[in-house]
Amino acid sequence: MHQRESDAICETNSQSRQALIHPNDIAVPFAILSVDDGVVVYANDQFRKIVKSTKIGEPIKGFLNTEQKRESTKQNLKQKSQCVSAFDTPQYTLRFSVTQGMFLDNEHFFVTLEKTDAAQKTAYLSRTDFISQLLQLVVSEQAALSDICVCAIDVDRFKVVNEKYGYAAGDYILDELVRVIENNIVGKHSIGRLGDNEFALILQGVNIDDGLQICEVIREQIKSEKFVWQGEDIAITVSIGIIAIDDEQDVETILAQSTLALSSAQENGRDCVHSSATQDTMMAYHSGKMHYAMVIEDALQNDKFELFAQPIVSLEDPNTCYSYEILLRIYDHVKQEFVSSQELIAAAESLEVTTRIDHWVCEKVFKLLNEKAQRQVRIPNISINLSGHSIVSVAFERFLLELTEKYNVPTSCICFEITESVAVKSISRAQNFIQNLKQVGYRFSLDDFGVGYCSFNYLNQLDVDNVKIDGSFVSAMLDDATQFATVQAITNVARTMNIRTIAEFVEKPEIIKALKVIGVDYGQGYIFGKPCSVQEIF
């Protein structure tokens, strides 16, 4: 499928929760026209059959400049695309549209699938209506809150269903799930759809033990149910989190805690039910991660990150600073402390915002380097950590090249650090990423070497300039002969390959002496300097 055709289909999905015709759903000849800045940039074969005068690069006004022509094209689209008989489910009907604002940027003719009247009569509430009903229960004096449970339900790996079978199949599965849930609840209840594949359930007149039994029955029934789409069975499982509510909780707290219970169920391997009490350690873990996730999102939105730098020095002359590693910090105003790097990384990966953070860091550092160059001040060597998501992203690679041109930075002063485990998992992409950026002068370090796959073969495959020996080996090398031998082996192999070595976590003079004897080139640790604000070095 042509990329622009795929983009055009995805564009229309934002208009109402309609399902688009997807090539995996059904073989319907749909017509797509893509217009950019008033000019035709793409038309698929079906559209060319309907509007034979279509030419790439021609202004859209050239053949659709009157209401009569627009209406004529609309009728042609209808006549050419009537394939309802080929569709074997009553859930959807074909809908055809020529957009009113067709002369605006990125407008498209498109054919979509829309639910039939029968399918629209769903058994679940919208997010707004569900929250409204939950609020009524919380504030009601008649409601016995001790006998109300709230459940969060998520379809496991639902993205795979959409990718393999199409969005129409996904919507069909969700409707069938609601049917199964309804068929296994006897008492008073309400079901709401809170997200793409997330449901919430209010169970009234049951305590937490009864609620757990109901949820287990629902989970088992869904797992054993046969969901058939176009003759093919689709196996579905769900994860469920359940809580009992009390007088102290508001709606926001109830939804947050049920979501945390769901996260615990997913953490336990999915396809299970998790009931969470206030002291649940798993709940506390996810609650902390959610807190830091909110802190990170706030920092991204409001530019609240802070950049620090730690020196990397020559072991032959510790007074000579070889480079500075850029470190990211966020101040948590709620806890009145800086978020630790471990918590920051875990929350960022959970939020899937590591690449956005890399964008922020690189933009800030490049801008600072540019300002320093304009003041004609010596620019220090800088090391910037990149996440695994970034090094496998072609878009991020383009972003770095655009930054290079925008800020005219001396690329030889910048070294990107990637961890050994990330590089090995995506070895082919990592090779391309390193090769392409080294061509414009950037340097690379393989970080945390030794704690991952620790194969010297990867040093042959990755064209890096430095290897950073993980601090767990360095800090214990005087007390453990194996750790000492590991540091020595890494150093010897790296030297043979003309790769410089950097020892992390250097804290004692005795370790400095041992590293010098082995032949390690550089060291990093508190003994040489603690992290300081980048403003102090810029």
Q: Is the pLDDT of residue 119 over 80?
A: no
Residues forming a β-bridge with 337: 332
Q: What is the pLDDT of residue 134?
A: 87
Residue 9: how many CA atoms within 13 Å on its side-chain side? Answer: 17
Each residue of 145-178: pLDDT tens digit? 668 899 999 998 888 888 888 888 888 888 889 8
d(CA 532, CA 503): 19
Q: Which residue has the tokens 């370790």?
A: 511
Helix (H) or strand (E) holding 59: none
Give the amino acid at 272.
Answer: C
Which tokens in the block code for residue 420?
């050994």
Q: What is the pLDDT of residue 114?
A: 38
One DSSP character per residue, 148-182 reads EEEEEEEETTHHHHHHHH-HHHHHHHHHHHHHHHH
Give the amino acid at 350.
Answer: S
Q: Which residue has the tokens 């079901």?
A: 191
Give the amino acid at 29.
Answer: P
Q: Is the pLDDT of residue 4 over 50?
A: no
pTM for the model stands at 0.53
Q: Which residue has the tokens 């639902």?
A: 158
d(CA 170, CA 187): 28
d(CA 188, CA 194): 20
Whole-number average pLDDT of the chain:
76
Each residue of 492-501: pLDDT tens digit? 999 999 999 9
Go through the domains of the chain in sequence order and give each one's CATH number: 3-118 (no CATH), 122-278 (3.30.70.270), 291-536 (3.20.20.450)
Question: Please, what's the b/e burial string for 485-501 (b: 16 or more CB within 10 A of its CB; e: otherwise)?
Answer: ebbbebbeebeeeebbb
d(CA 465, CA 322): 13
Q: What is the pLDDT of residue 38?
A: 57
Helix (H, G, I), strand (E, B) or coil at 22: coil
CA-based nearest residue to 35, from 66, 67, 11, 69: 11
Each residue of 363-408: pLDDT tens digit? 999 999 999 888 877 888 999 999 988 998 889 999 999 999 999 9
Each residue of 29-58: pLDDT tens digit? 445 556 555 566 666 665 566 565 666 666
Find the range with the poorest average confidence among 35-44, 126-135, 458-467. Answer: 35-44
Q: How many CB atoms lie within 10 A of CB 365?
A: 21
CA-based nearest residue to 194, from 136, 137, 250, 262: 262
Residues forming a β-bridge with 447: 419
Of residues 329 and 73, more confidence is placed in 329
Give the amino acid at 151.
Answer: C
Q: Which residue has the tokens 């859209």?
A: 60
For the chain, percent of residues with pLDDT exceeding 70: 71
Are 67 and 42 spatial neighbours (Cβ–Cβ below 8 Å)?
no
E-only strand ranges, 59-133: 92-97, 107-115
SS in 3 state form for 380-417? CCEEEECCHHHHCCHHHHHHHHHHHHHHCCCHHHEEEE
Are 153 and 270 spatial neighbours (Cβ–Cβ below 8 Å)?
no
Q: How many CB atoms lie within 10 A of CB 382?
A: 22
Strand 238-244, strand 273-275: pairing? parallel
Each residue of 479-533: pLDDT tens digit? 889 889 999 999 999 999 999 999 999 999 999 999 999 999 999 999 999 999 9
d(CA 300, CA 304): 7
Which residues, including other chains, have CB under 8 Å from residue 204's CB and lie 6 or more apart?
Answer: 137, 143, 147, 148, 187, 188, 189
